[in-house]
Amino acid sequence: MASGKVLRQLIKAGAGGDLAAFKAASKSIIEEERQKQHHLLANDLERILYGESKPAPASFLRIPSSVPTDKERGLPLLDIRQSQRSLEELVLSKAGMSAIEDLLEEHRRADVLRSYGLQPASKVLFFGPPGCGKTMAAEVIASELDLPLAIVRLDALVSSYLGETAANLRKVFDFIDQNEVVALFDEFDALGKERADSSEHGELRRVVNAVLQMMDGYRGKSLLIAATNHEQILDSAVWRRFDDTLEFPVPGTDLLPQILQLKLRGVRRQFETDSQSLLKIFKGLSPADIERIARRAIKRMILRNQEFLALKDLTKARERESAFSSIT
């Protein structure tokens, strides 16, 4: 709940018809809710306050009007979007958060580095199991740097025509060289697989060679982020092309209370997020799995008209998730 001082300012401005003061007080309330990580409420309040008249963020205004397409099918090679993820939504180890913050500082103060003949890291590899925050981290970085997020579409990039995949790659690299974005190459192992693998045909080896050459020659202002769940199959030469690498492991028990606090924010519950019984339910799961189970339990709570979320709701949701996973 907003402070009494801000609420008094809001009501006074509204009663007196002072629109400027009303908006200023409203913005203070929205900012307070964001600091409490009540992002859904803050977003709703912004929509009520601004309607359709809110000025577009700078990153939205910089989104290119056209993107390169695949010659074979005419599909766009990148999906360009504006990210609104905040740094507070990312839960990593101290080392992981420090690495992300260092990367952000390098790009925010790129001019300082360049004045000393240095460049900010422009090619970074995220690796680790699925659902552990790699894509979210890229979204957070794009939002924090106020840059469009450009997700490379592998379904359009990889072509059945000889040499066309490499040609599509060239279009993508030309695009991120000419437009300042955060470019996410998700499932990067599809492009950078070990060339010594005898099961792969010559065309895929040529794609890896093309990737290596283009990464060597890349000098653009965009930040290129590659993400993979299968780092063990990446070609050894690929690793050397990155300025930095960051592992996203399954979170340990020490991070679970923070993750659960985030996933269950705004939900009335009968337990604390550091409860040992609660941590036992989610031990060994990825943040994506935790969110899916929590969402399932919250839906059950709402549909049964329960006032509070209970541990038994989460336990049943976990059992349902385990049964589903065993089938798939």
Q: What is the pLDDT of residue 32?
A: 77
- CATH of residue 285's domain is 1.10.8.60
Give yes or no: residues 85 and 201 share one domain.
Answer: yes
Give yes or no: residues 215 and 134 share one domain.
Answer: yes
Is 73 part of any domain? yes
Domain boundary among 196, 220, 247: 247
Give yes or no: residues 186 and 283 share one domain.
Answer: no
Give yes or no: residues 65 and 146 share one domain.
Answer: yes
Is 55 part of any domain? no
Instruction: Give me the domain span that covers residue 188.
Output: 60-247
Give yes or no: residues 207 and 303 share one domain.
Answer: no
- Which residues, including other chains, have CB under 8 Å from residue 132's CB and lie 6 or more apart? 248, 249, 250, 251, 286, 287, 288
Q: 């500082």: which residue's tokens?
A: 105
Q: What is the pLDDT of residue 288?
A: 94
pTM (whole model) above 0.85 = no
Closest CA to 183 of 126, 127, 240, 234: 126
Which pLDDT tens digit goes with each residue over 2-26?
566 777 777 776 766 677 777 777 8
Q: What is the pLDDT of residue 295?
A: 93
Give yes or no: residues 77 and 140 share one domain.
Answer: yes
Give yes or no: residues 149 and 212 share one domain.
Answer: yes
Where would I find the H helices in the chain? 4-16, 19-35, 39-50, 58-61, 94-108, 110-115, 134-144, 154-157, 164-178, 202-217, 236-239, 256-263, 276-282, 287-303, 311-327
SS3 per residue for 174-234: HHHHHCCCEEEECCHHHCCECCCCCCCCHHHHHHHHHHHHHHHHCCCCCEEEEEECCHHHE
Q: How many CB atoms lie within 10 A of CB 81?
A: 15
Return mean pLDDT, the chain.
Answer: 86
Domain total in the chain: 3
Q: What is the pLDDT of residue 53?
A: 45
Give yes or no: residues 206 and 185 share one domain.
Answer: yes
Q: What is the pLDDT of residue 175?
A: 94
Kind and range of the H or E run holding 81: strand 78-81
Burial class (CB in 10 A: 0-12, 13-18, 19+), 216: exposed
Give yes or no: residues 210 and 72 share one domain.
Answer: yes
Give yes or no: residues 44 and 180 share one domain.
Answer: no
Domain boundary among 212, 247, 282: 247
Q: What is the pLDDT of residue 299?
A: 93
Is 154 part of any domain? yes
Give yes or no: residues 123 and 172 share one domain.
Answer: yes
Tens place of pLDDT per residue across the chain (328 aa): 556 677 777 777 676 667 777 777 788 888 777 666 566 677 677 777 766 444 445 555 456 668 899 888 889 999 999 888 889 899 999 999 999 999 999 999 999 999 999 999 999 999 999 999 999 999 999 999 999 999 999 888 888 676 888 999 999 999 999 999 999 999 999 888 877 665 556 677 888 899 999 999 999 889 999 999 999 999 999 999 999 999 999 999 999 999 999 999 888 999 999 999 999 999 999 999 999 999 999 999 999 999 999 999 999 999 988 876 655 5
Residues 139, 109: Cα–Cα separation, whole Å: 20
Closest CA to 227 of 195, 189, 194, 193: 189
